[in-house]
């Protein structure tokens, strides 16, 4: 039986242990450019088997929040290169989470002040973060416009170009496609946000089409073994809702099984909240079985509210990797603390989004 501390092969990635830094939005990248402080933050956490970066926009249209990083300009790529070098120097592996927010945005962040884009012109009942008078402010998202079908190949191409730049220019070990939390690809997947009547709406096959086109394009460019995907079958985050998620997500993972991915990353329950939602039941074991039965060999990564004990149980029950969010944010040496069963620093919510080093790079490690 494996433990959290055993190495594992995930696609092309040889990981030193099964503990993963979950993607965490921190809003510390002014003008969408990664900073040296971000390099320090990620390098501090390099003892993880794998670091997944905060969500990173593939285009300005894909931006939805103040001070989140991008991966579409030269300075952004240069900034990320410093991050990947710091992590590699510290002996870690790091992949970037590629993000298009779709409707979860605001005209102020969009090219030319245009409306955000979405599968259908339905406003998300959620807020985004803008900077107002120098401080972060929660603001209602803007009404989106529905994408024309002839715009979709451009979006697929933009994901592909970002993936290629991530690996070839910025030095990432791979990419994770953000298919979760009510952003563009999840908006296409789910019936609550997708009311299209073309080939990208209606049936499960149609709603999954864009996500699968993106995954084929990205794996074609950087290799399946360097590609992962994050999915959140039942999260209510950002007004996400599907009327019948079990067959939808089982279809998606069966299709993904043919792409020889590094891993599939599943958020169980409500992102950052309860692991069980009585009004949104979901059978995660059946999802994993659907993937394995279809021949999927990627690592199975689980996330949401794990502590060391629950994580060991998940590994014993056949999960391959466990992603830790808030716990890892507050404990740069989480791997060592879990190994020693040491006490944990408590995360400070007031410094999650925006600001500088405080609540970011100043959480103490255990003394040696």
| Closer residue to ligand 8OZ (CB): 66 or 311 | 66
Catalytic: 65?
no
Q: Which of 46, 189, 237, 314 binds ligand 8OZ (CB under 6 A)?
A: 237
Rounded to a whole number of angstroms, the minimum distance from the CB of residue 128 to ligand 8OZ is 8
Cβ neighbours of residue 28 closer than 8 Å, sequence gap 6 or more: 35, 37, 38, 67, 354, 355, 356, 360
Q: Which of 25, 76, 303, 327 binds ligand 8OZ (CB under 6 A)?
A: 25
Task: For residue 199, report the phi and psi dihedrals to the nearest 5 degrees.
Answer: -70, -5
User: Total number of residues binding ligand 8OZ (CB under 6 A)?
Assistant: 6
Rounded to a whole number of angstroms, the minimum distance from the CB of residue 271 to ligand 8OZ is 6
Question: Does 188 help bind ligand 8OZ (rule: CB under 6 A)?
Answer: no
| Closer residue to ligand 8OZ (CB): 182 or 201 | 182
Rounded to a whole number of angstroms, the minimum distance from the CB of residue 125 to ligand 8OZ is 15
| Closer residue to ligand 8OZ (CB): 49 or 64 | 64
| Closer residue to ligand 8OZ (CB): 181 or 187 | 181
Question: Does 181 help bind ligand 8OZ (rule: CB under 6 A)?
Answer: yes
| Closer residue to ligand 8OZ (CB): 17 or 42 | 42
3-class SS string, the chain:
CCCCCCCEEECCEEECCCEEECCCCCCCCHHHCCCHHHHHHHHHCCCCCEEEEEEEECCCCCCCCCCCCECCCHHHHHHHHHHHHHHHHCCCCEEEEEECCCCCCCHHHCHHHCCCEECCCCCCCCEEEEEECCEEEEEECCCCEECCHHHHHHHHHHHHHHHHHHHHCCCCCEEEEECCCCCHHHHHHCCCCCCCCCCCCCCHHHHCHHHHHHHHHHHHHHCHHHEEEEECCCCCHHHCCCCCHHHHHHHHHHHHHHHCCCEEEEECCCCCCCCCCCCCCCCHHHHHHHHHHCCCCCEEEEECCCCHHHHHHHHHCCCCEEEECHHHHHCCCHHHHHHHCCCCCCCCHHHCCCCCCCCCCCCCCCCC
Question: Does 55 help bind ligand 8OZ (rule: CB under 6 A)?
Answer: yes
| Closer residue to ligand 8OZ (CB): 177 or 338 | 177
Alpha-carbon distance values, 170 to 34, 217, 310, 362, 363 (Å): 11, 19, 35, 26, 27
Rounded to a whole number of angstroms, the minimum distance from the CB of residue 23 to ligand 8OZ is 7
Question: Does 65 help bind ligand 8OZ (rule: CB under 6 A)?
Answer: yes
Rounded to a whole number of angstroms, the minimum distance from the CB of residue 68 to ligand 8OZ is 7
User: Which is the catalytic residue, given 183, 251, 306, 353?
Assistant: 183
| Closer residue to ligand 8OZ (CB): 119 or 325 | 325
Rounded to a whole number of angstroms, the minimum distance from the CB of residue 31 to ligand 8OZ is 18
Rounded to a whole number of angstroms, the minimum distance from the CB of residue 25 to ligand 8OZ is 4
Question: Does 271 help bind ligand 8OZ (rule: CB under 6 A)?
Answer: yes
Give the residues lining the site for ligand 8OZ (CB under 6 A).
Answer: 25, 55, 65, 181, 237, 271
Q: Any idea which residues carry the catalytic annotation?
A: 183
């Amino acid at each position: 039986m494996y433990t959290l501390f055993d190495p594992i092969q995930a696609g092309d990635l040889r990981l030193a242990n099964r503990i993963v830094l979950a993607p965490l939005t921190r809003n510390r990248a002014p003008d969408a450019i990664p900073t040296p402080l971000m390099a320090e933050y990620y390098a501090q956490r390099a003892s993880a088997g794998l670091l997944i970066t905060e969500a990173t926009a593939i285009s300005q249209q894909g931006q939805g929040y103040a001070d989140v990083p991008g991966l579409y300009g030269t300075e952004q790529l240069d900034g990320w290169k410093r991050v990947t070098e710091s992590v590699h120097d510290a002996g870690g592996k790091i992949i970037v989470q590629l993000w298009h927010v779709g409707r979860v945005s605001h005209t102020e962040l969009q090219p030319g002040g245009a409306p955000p884009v979405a599968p259908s012109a339905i406003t998300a009942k959620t807020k985004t973060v803008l900077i107002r008078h120098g401080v972060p402010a929660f603001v209602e998202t803007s009404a989106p416009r529905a994408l024309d079908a002839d715009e979709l190949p451009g979006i697929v191409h933009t994901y592909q170009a970002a993936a290629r730049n991530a690996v070839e220019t910025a030095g990432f070990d791979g990419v994770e496609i953000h298919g979760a939390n009510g952003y563009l690809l999840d908006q296409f997947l789910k019936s609550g946000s997708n009311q299209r009547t073309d080939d990208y709406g209606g049936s499960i096959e149609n709603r999954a089409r864009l996500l699968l086109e993106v995954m084929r394009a990205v794996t074609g460019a950087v290799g399946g073994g360097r590609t992962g995907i994050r999915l959140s079958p039942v999260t209510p985050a950002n007004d996400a809702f599907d009327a019948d998620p079990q067959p939808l997500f089982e279809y998606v993972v069966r299709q993904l099984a043919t792409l020889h991915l590094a891993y599939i990353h599943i958020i169980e329950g409500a992102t950052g909240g309860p692991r069980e939602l009585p009004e949104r039941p979901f059978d995660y074991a059946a999802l994993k079985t659907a993937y394995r039965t279809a021949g999927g060999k990627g690592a199975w990564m689980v996330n949401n509210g794990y502590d060391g004990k629950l994580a060991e149980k998940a590994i014993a029950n056949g999960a391959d990797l466990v992603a830790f969010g808030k716990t890892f944010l507050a404990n740069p040496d989480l791997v060592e603390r879990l190994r020693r069963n040491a006490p944990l620093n408590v995360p400070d919510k007031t410094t999650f989004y925006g600001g500088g080093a405080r609540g970011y790079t100043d959480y103490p490690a255990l003394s040696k």
